[in-house]
Structure 1
């Protein structure tokens, strides 16, 4: 009999633990040919998430948990869950019920058709998101696909099924900055996407601020592409070429004894190119920082306690 591990990162999700578990239980009632367990990864929550997990685990035998020593981030929580299982299949999803557990049977059905990865991506715009979030989401996925060479659908989520081949590859990957949506696409194998309409968040608020989403976007792009480094070279050549167009004006000014433009134009030029240089140095600095963190070879997470 095959086994399924459903891995759910949880950060301040005390009110959502039991509801999401119970919905998963309903969705899997008819799948008697599979043994399944739900593994919550407590990502350093500051609320009563761990207490709820401890009490719930006593009530439900197939509810397991891992608890970190501090907050390490969602992707590291997913890695911890994947590293800890020996199951035939892994399903990853969020704890807030925006990923509908009722879709799990369809994920399993696609796997039984022969797919190694079955991932869910949002159908159309998220009806529960603000206009800014919708616009920034579309822009992010377009830029990421353009720079990384991946083909990630707009609205692709962490709601996915992975088979044993893919699980083994992901376990072997030891990157310091993880971006699972890109990593799962990158590994290849036989993949298929299915559309879903996200539910409204059950309880609580999203844990991502706009600054955190921007940081995630930068990390994601630089994790899968060196094109920003090449763009720095191209921009340098372009502006060096444009500066040559200033030479005829200088010659004309010397011949006709014209005054050179005032300090304001010089200051504007210095400020513009100074800012451009800082941007390019920042791009280079990000990549150097990534190498520095990777060279340290620190673990992606530290487990404080778990019940299996």
Structure 2
């Protein structure tokens, strides 16, 4: 029987975990697959890990992986991807914005031969107009800047086939933008449209500052366009400065020229200084990422695991591999 594993990153989600698992278990009961769920606790400060342990006591299909600290959602997803062995993997958040009842439709698309089935949001309930507008703008900017076609209006809610999962495991970069990596592996991909619900409880872990940094991560991970922009900006500024210098010389030779005013001189100095600082900042972003890659630290560290023993019957095999 084909094995399906649902990967759920968890960070301070104790308010919704029980409700989420109850709905997910009902989905499992209706699927003709060997189903398991892997909860990856990304260093939660609440009792999420204890709750995962209780869920495991109630449902033998539950596996757990606890990271040694909060590494961030992208690396929590990576830890889960490394840990599972499955014929198909579904990634979903625990906040119930993405309904687990859609998983059978993902599975059906997978049965039709697609390797990546991603959820595309038609509506985003419970989010401000500013967040919706900035998210929409980000995806459209990324499509123009990157050679990797990253689908618009998509999150991490998706299904991956076995070969797509194996392809992702080979990508070991430390500065990770998972939405881009999901698209980069290629294979046959299709969208499943749905309407995203509001959070059941709690608050989003991604404020505008974290979303801004995630956007920088995505742009610098999948595009060198900012470096080209800095180059073109520098060339344009140099051309304007050269033209202005020629004009000053000609004007002095033809009509003479009194001492230039202080304000105009300061404007030129500040303009050139600002352009140089912008260019240095862009270079610094890329150099900083090279620095992080060069240190070659582990992507994450695992503190504890909850998985069935190896002697379990084949029908109840764990979705966790020996890497966990």
SS in 2 for 1:61: coil
Contact 1:96 1:202 in 2 (8 A): yes
Rounded to whole Å, the distance in 2 between the matches of 1:200 and 1:102 is 15
Contact 1:253 1:260 in 2 (8 A): no
Task: Please state how far the C-alpha of 1:152 moved relative to its aligned partner.
Answer: 2.4
Query: What residue is the counterpart of 1:302 in the other structure?
Result: 301
SS in 2 for 1:37: strand
How many residues are matched?
306
Query: What residue is the counterpart of 1:102 in the other structure?
Result: 101
Contact 1:28 1:105 in 2 (8 A): no
Contact 2:10 2:41 in 1 (8 A): yes
Contact 2:66 2:302 in 1 (8 A): yes
Aligned ranges for residues 207-226 of structure 1 at < 5 Å? 207-226=205-224
Question: Higher mean Cα deviation, 140-149 or 65-74?
Answer: 140-149
SS in 1 for 2:157: strand
Given candidates 187, 192, 206, the residue that maps to 1:194 is 192
Task: Please state how far the C-alpha of 1:254 moved relative to its aligned partner.
Answer: 4.2
Indicate yes or no: 2:5 matched with 1:5.
yes
Rounded to whole Å, the distance in 2 between the matches of 1:68 and 1:116 is 28
Contact 2:127 2:198 in 1 (8 A): no
Task: Please state how far the C-alpha of 1:14 moved relative to its aligned partner.
Answer: 0.6
SS in 2 for 1:96: coil
Query: What residue is the counterpart of 2:256 in the other structure?
Result: 257
Query: What residue is the counterpart of 1:18 in the other structure?
Result: 18
Rounded to whole Å, the distance in 2 between the matches of 1:294 and 1:127 is 37
Contact 1:88 1:163 in 2 (8 A): yes
Query: What residue is the counterpart of 1:143 in the other structure?
Result: 141
SS in 2 for 1:157: strand
CA distances 1:74-96 after superposition (whole Å, capped 9, x unpaired): 11111111100111111001110
Aligned ranges for residues 1-308 of structure 1 at < 5 Å? 1-32=1-32, 34-123=33-122, 125-246=123-244, 247-308=246-307
Rounded to whole Å, the distance in 2 between the matches of 1:273 and 1:64 is 57
Contact 2:124 2:197 in 1 (8 A): no
TM-score normalised by L of structure 2: 0.91
CA distances 1:39-65 after superposition (whole Å, capped 9, x unpaired): 111111111111111121111111111
Task: Please state how far the C-alpha of 1:111 moved relative to its aligned partner.
Answer: 0.4
Can you give the 5+ residue segments of structure 1 that lack an aligned partner in the other structure? none
Contact 2:124 2:198 in 1 (8 A): no
Query: In 2 relative to 1, CA 249–161 (structure 1 residues): closer, same or farther, beyond 3 Å?
Result: same
SS in 2 for 1:87: coil
Query: What residue is the counterpart of 2:319 in the other structure?
Result: none
User: Structure 1 residue runs of 4+, over 6 Å off?
Assistant: none
CA distances 1:69-127 after superposition (whole Å, capped 9, x unpaired): 1100111111111100111111001110001111101100000011011000111x423
Rounded to whole Å, the distance in 2 between the matches of 1:239 and 1:86 is 55
CA distances 1:205-256 after superposition (whole Å, capped 9, x unpaired): 0011111111110011101111211221111111111223212244214432
Task: Please state how far the C-alpha of 1:257 moved relative to its aligned partner.
Answer: 2.2
Rounded to whole Å, the distance in 1 between the matches of 2:81 and 2:212 is 26
Rounded to whole Å, the distance in 2 between the matches of 1:195 and 1:265 is 56
